[in-house]
Amino acid sequence: MADLVFVYGAMGCGKTTELLMKIYDYESEGKIVFFIKPSTDSKGDNKAVNRFGMERQVDYLVKPDESILGIITSLKTLPDAIVVEEAQFLQKKQVDELFLISKDFDIEVFTYGIRSDFRQDEFTGSSRLFTIADKIQELDKKICSCGAKATNNLRLFNGVPTFDGNSILIDNVSDPSYNEETNFSYKSVCGDCYLRIRRKYSNDK
């Protein structure tokens, strides 16, 4: 029987490269991959691009209230594998559906995502994947600037660490001077550095 696999790591740990290589491995053998992504970030970002410029078009952007089971069963040909980017944004029910699909249809499901948000709070999708995935793999190649393994995600606003705001940054903010792309960025740091930076910059110490 096929597995539901969750590959996780801090931002910038090379998840997209791993994911693109996984798709390549399947497709170079003539197999069919169905590549999906939760549509939570409304940027219309419908392709995965890594830092080396490799890219792959997303086959389907899944809305939070959509049934992945329904999407898969409506396909003319069932895929050999399903690959999910930004799996932290999946709903609990959608993760359960992916588990069911891996077993009932014998389709390998590879999900990629981050463990926690910039406040160390859980993501619904990752939390459910940690609970029910058949295999869990950590991508631990990302190194903090101090040399330790980077495990936490910092959010920077105009280059300054911030611990306020939504777990998911929303687009279409009414303030016309607000530009998510240029004002916000993320940095992966180790646990020690995360705590040190939070004590320095967070309002609730």
Catalytic residues: 86
The minimum distance between CB 17 and Zn ion, in angstroms, equals: 23
CB-count burial class (<10 Å; 0-12, 13-18, 19+) for 45: middle
95 binds Zn ion (CB under 5 A): no
Stretch near Zn ion under the rule CB under 5 A, chosen from 26-34, 74-82, 118-126, 147-155? 147-155
Main-chain dihedrals φ then ψ at residue 124, nearest 5 degrees = -55, -50
- Beta carbon of residue 169, minimum distance to Zn ion (angstroms, whole number): 24
Residue 147 or 176 having the CB closest to Zn ion: 147
Instruction: Name the DSSP class of 104.
Output: H
Mark 73-111 as b/e (b = at least 16 C-beta within 10 Å).
eeeeeebbbbbbbbbbbbbebbbbbbbebbeeeebbbbb
Element (H, E) at 22: helix 15-27
Among 136, 146, 170, 195, binds Zn ion (CB under 5 A): 146
Determine if 144 is a binding residue for Zn ion (CB under 5 A).
yes
| Strand-pair category, 55-57 with 184-189 | unpaired
Is 10 a binder of Zn ion (CB under 5 A)? Answer: no
- Is residue 195 involved in binding Zn ion (CB under 5 A)? no
Residue 49 or residue 148: which is nearer to Zn ion going by CB? 148
CA distance linking residue 57 with residue 47, whole number of Å = 4
Q: Which of 75, 148, 170, 173 binds Zn ion (CB under 5 A)?
A: 148
**11 to 50, contacts with Zn ion by CB under 5 A?**
none
Q: Could you tell me the smallest distance in angstroms from the CB atom of residue 190 to Zn ion?
A: 3
